[in-house]
Structure 1
Amino acid sequence: MKVVTHSGTFHADDVFASAVLRAALGDFDFSRTRDTALIAAADIVFDVGGAYDPARRRYDHHMRDLPRREDGTPYSSVGLIWRDYGRAALSRFVPDIGDGERDSVWQDVDASIILPIDRTDNGVATASPSHLALLIEAFNPTWDSTQTYDEAFAEAVGLADGILRRVCRQAHAEARATAFVLKAATEARDPRVIVLDRKLPWEKAVFGSGLTDLLFVIYPNEDSTSWYCRTVPPEPSSFGQRLSLPEAWRGLQEEAFSKASGIPDGVFCHPSGFICGARSRASALHLAEQAIAVGRETGAA
């Protein structure tokens, strides 16, 4: 199979598109050129050629009538390649991915990595100095470099491959975490409290699955030497609380916290009232139950 993109200066979209195709298709004959004959003879062409025709595997986006996403955002070459080859690429980036997780992971990576490159490449968004697109462009040879553009491109693709591998695996881990959280929610005796047997990302599951009654999440720390009772925020990535921990607990530690909360093994309560901890699962669960009881008395719950 022959795959072609343009020669010379490269950007994040063609670099990442190349990494996606390599993951999806394995080995192929790759050329960077603007020779029209070589472009016409290629099996897949991206970011060059002046044509957008998925049926013929032509993925340029530099035309007046350029391809767009459903929301109107213009595609760059990586957006087009990820759309058509990203799901196949996931099999290499995340070897143990299941078919039931593939679409969720694909969508997460599209939103977190691919779409921002589309937007920046097309001038829809401005790239900050630390933006991924500018970091990739920094791989282009300097005016006094002896490195060729093709050599620099290959080096940049290696970085893009590593980034995609990590981002895909993180998205896969989040998809698996969502399944754990939803299972815990179905097994909970009180819809306001769920208990997880390991520390994992739970906010996406809570807000994406409509767990609107949930107030507290109980989970162990990394080595299971203590357990946290964490309040659920009103929106993702917020330190606010649907129900705050009692004022009387806040800022206390060890014996003082244990006495105030009525447990034998308290560790701490954060001064802002969004998290507290104990040395046992039972005590952490008791903290949540006590916080709900106090909230009911004060009218907060």
Structure 2
Amino acid sequence: MTENAAKRLKTDSGVVAIGTHNGHFHADEALAVYMLRKHIPTYANAKLVRTRDPKLLDECDIVVDVGGEYEPARHRYDHHQRSFSTTFPERATKLSSAGLVYMHFGKQIIARRLSQPEESEQVGLVWNKIYQSFVEALDAHDNGISAYDAAGLAAAGLEKKFSDGGFTLGAMVGRLNPNWNDPIPEDPVAAQAAEDQRFELASQRIGEEFDRGLDYFTSAWLPAREVVAEAFAVRNEFDAGGRIMVLKKQSAPWKDHLYTLEEQNPEAGKVLYVLYPEKPTPDAKWRIQCVPETKDSFQSRKPLPEAWRGFRDEELDGISGVPGSVFVHAAGFIGGNKTFDGALAMVQKALL
């Protein structure tokens, strides 16, 4: 296997090379390699060398997830050494090779996408957001860190109600490794080539998901920040206590930005309901969404009245006393009305 890598290095002398380990692969180095090759111009046409031979790794321009060194000045990004304890700024999860590469190269990736300096506020916002929403899960998975404290769950007597299939980002990559009983070519060079081909597929797969997140957070999530900030600033127009926020033109990703604005303005109180049109046209119906207690919670801060839940149209008009009602979900977290005035009247009643 190392013979194959050695031949490639010798044959491709002068070509930039990225080194990582061979054998069973994981999501962290698959993403690390993808980010470098896809988004960092220096490594755009880099050869991939999968080996554990220190001599061959020494010849690589950058090494991730192998080698026992974390030395950014030399572009060595391993996290397996006993002394390693580095985390992303203001996060507690120990980094894997994905987090290391993202921490050092992520701002460059985002700055290129936004055409802004790496030091800009917008780049910093997206850099932190992508780490927390995507990369951190890979760091935790590779370092064996659970999203929940096992002792706390046991003490509370909490158990999973059903299997979620174990389909995490890490599992998505892991299932692309060969099965234990898959045939392996007898020729070591052919065997390594087959393994490398699987790794390339895994790297592309996790990279596509990363790119979807990058596209979303730069082109949709970040522009929504200004929309939500404007609505947050004028929410007292609709309720003296600032409990109703209206996105006047169309819906935008609001949850993250709302929670951030509330943290930055603790004296302003909590928003309970968000109103927005279903589409950006004058005749659009309006939706009412209850603000969850937390971003990932199914529990609303103040659900719509229980008496309204599960009813629709004229029947709901009679129960709510507001004409134009469309529906209220059986769980009470969302509802709708044919007009803005109707939706506003519904949440004003719900606040009583």
Q: What TM-score does the superposition give when structure 2 sets the normalisation length?
A: 0.73
Aligned partner of 2:190 in structure 1 is: none
1:113 shift after superposition:
2.5
What percent of counterpart residues are identical? 33
Post-superposition Cα deviations, 1:204-261, rounded to whole Å, max 9, x if no partner, equal 2222221633222111225764111222233334444434434554443222323444
> Whole-Å Cα distance in 1 between the matches of residues 222 and 166 of structure 2?
31
Aligned partner of 1:186 in structure 2 is: 233
> Whole-Å Cα distance in 2 between the matches of residues 13 and 239 of structure 1?
30
8 Å Cα contact 2:114-2:123 kept in structure 1 = no
Query: Does the alignment pair 1:270 with 2:322?
Result: no
Post-superposition Cα deviations, 1:158-205, rounded to whole Å, max 9, x if no partner, equal 112101011223333333323311111113313221211212332222
8 Å Cα contact 1:141-1:148 kept in structure 2 = no
Q: Which runs of 5+ in 2 are unaligned?
A: 1-15, 148-163, 186-192, 263-267
Aligned partner of 2:258 in structure 1 is: 206
8 Å Cα contact 1:253-1:267 kept in structure 2 = yes
> Whole-Å Cα distance in 2 between the matches of residues 195 and 160 of structure 1?
37
> Which of 77, 83, 86 is 1:65 aligned to?
83
Pick closer, same or farther for the CA change 1:97–1:244 going to 2, 3 Å. farther
Post-superposition Cα deviations, 1:83-126, rounded to whole Å, max 9, x if no partner, equal 1012222356xx34754332222222212322222222223349
Aligned pairs for 1:110-259 within 5 A: 110-125=131-146, 129-142=166-179, 143-145=182-184, 148-172=194-218, 173-188=220-235, 189=237, 190=239, 191-196=242-247, 197-210=249-262, 212-222=269-279, 225-259=284-318
8 Å Cα contact 1:52-1:67 kept in structure 2 = no
> Whole-Å Cα distance in 2 between the matches of residues 257 and 113 of structure 1?
41
> Whole-Å Cα distance in 1 between the matches of residues 110 and 31 of structure 2?
14
Tell me the SS of whatever aligns to 2:275: strand
1:145 shift after superposition:
4.9
1:144 shift after superposition:
0.8
Post-superposition Cα deviations, 1:28-73, rounded to whole Å, max 9, x if no partner, equal 3322233333322322111122221112111122212124216664
Aligned partner of 1:6 in structure 2 is: 21
> Whole-Å Cα distance in 2 between the matches of residues 53 and 73 of structure 1?
19
Pick closer, same or farther for the CA change 1:131–1:192 going to 2, 3 Å. closer
Q: Is 81-90 or 218-227 further displaced after alignment? A: 218-227
Q: What TM-score does the superposition give when structure 1 sets the normalisation length?
A: 0.84
8 Å Cα contact 1:101-1:175 kept in structure 2 = yes
RMSD of Structure 2 on Structure 1 (CA):
2.8
Aligned partner of 2:345 in structure 1 is: 286
> Whole-Å Cα distance in 2 between the matches of residues 24 and 270 of structure 1?
43
Q: Which runs of 5+ in 1 are unaligned?
A: 296-301
Pick closer, same or farther for the CA change 1:212–1:145 going to 2, 3 Å. farther
> Whole-Å Cα distance in 2 between the matches of residues 240 and 163 of structure 1?
28
8 Å Cα contact 2:37-2:46 kept in structure 1 = no
Corresponding letter in the other structure for 1:278: N
Pick closer, same or farther for the CA change 1:87–1:135 going to 2, 3 Å. same
